[in-house]
Amino acid sequence: MIAGEAALTSKACSPTQGSTIRPGKFFVLLGSLLVLLVGAAFLEGGQFSDAGFCALLTGVLLVAVVSVCRRHNNLGRGLALTIPTVVLNWIGYATGRLEVFLAHDILIIFFFVFVAYHVFRAVLDDRHVTLDTIGGAACVYLLVGLAWTYVYGTILLVDGGSIRFATPTAVNGVSPFGSSNFAETAYFSFVTMTTLGYGDVTPTSPPARTAAYLQAVFGQFYLAVLVARLVSLHIVQMTRDQK
């Protein structure tokens, strides 16, 4: 009787029970996201730099699909977003056409939201607070920041003066981020989400301002929910260990 109850308790408390992502995969995705963010800071202008950024972004999209879309139906949906996004990304940099970049930005926003949703759901399904849980939570934060990066890029493609940068970077032709580059737009996105508010980048149009305050609200709400979840899991785990 006691052995049976122990087995049931062990099964219920298994950290991978109900999760669609195997342990350790979060850190592969987290590493690829950090490589993209850091590597993009050293890629400025020029044909080789554009190709390098496209390669980095392609790698991140593929890693995200492999790491997150473990089930067959999720893999199909992930590839349905990944393949056209990658193709449009390379075509956009090759042709510089505005409509291609607009379609690319919309698709990649949906892709990052799709991946963030599945990672966040897997984090919530975890019943133990582990390093993998923390890594998944960090991935969600970075994925949402990247999604908003392309939201601002879309706004800049429609209206190049909607966001004013203190030191604008010269961009040859059209890019997925309008009159700016990835590093500038990502900087504005994460500074907004953390509510640092340096003031060197200013949204000037109503759509840009709306996107900025919605991101700031999300950033604070996400951290509050995340901390509450991790603390509650830790308390439950300690209570079970004591019993």
* Token duo for residue 20: 């669609």
23: left (phi over 0), alpha (psi -120 to 50) or beta: beta
Decide if 43 contacts 52 (C-beta within 8 A): yes
- The reply to whether 10 falls in a domain is no
Element (H, E) at 213: helix 206-242
Considering the domain boundaries, does residue 71 fall inside one?
yes
pLDDT reported for residue 104: 93
Alpha helices in 41-97, H assignment, sequence order? 47-68, 72-95
Domain annotation covers residue 17: no
Domain count of the chain?
1
Q: Is residue 153 in a domain?
A: yes
Give me the residues of the chain with pLDDT under 70, please. Answer: 1-25, 44-48, 70-73, 168-174, 234, 241-243
* In-domain check, residue 15: no
Nearest Cα to Cα of residue 182 among 82, 69, 80, 33: 33
Q: Given this model, what pLDDT does residue 37 score?
A: 92
How far is it, in rounded angstroms, from Cα 129 to Cα 133?
6
pLDDT digits (tens, 9 = 90+) for 125-148: 777 777 788 888 899 999 999 999
Q: Are 153 and 57 in contact, with CB atoms under 8 Å apart? A: no
Q: Determine, yes or no, domain membership for 221.
A: yes
pTM: 0.82
pLDDT for position 18: 41
Residue 117 belongs to domain spanning: 23-242
> Is residue 194 domain-resident?
yes
User: What pLDDT score was predicted for residue 70?
Assistant: 64
User: For residue 111, what are its two tokens?
Assistant: 């892709």
| 4 located within any domain | no
- CATH classification at residue 154: 1.10.287.70
List the beta strands (DSSP E) in the chain: 163-165, 201-203
In this prediction, residue 85 carries a pLDDT of 92
Work out the angle between the directed axes of helices 98-125 and 47-68 (0-180°, nearest 10): 30
pLDDT value of residue 136: 87
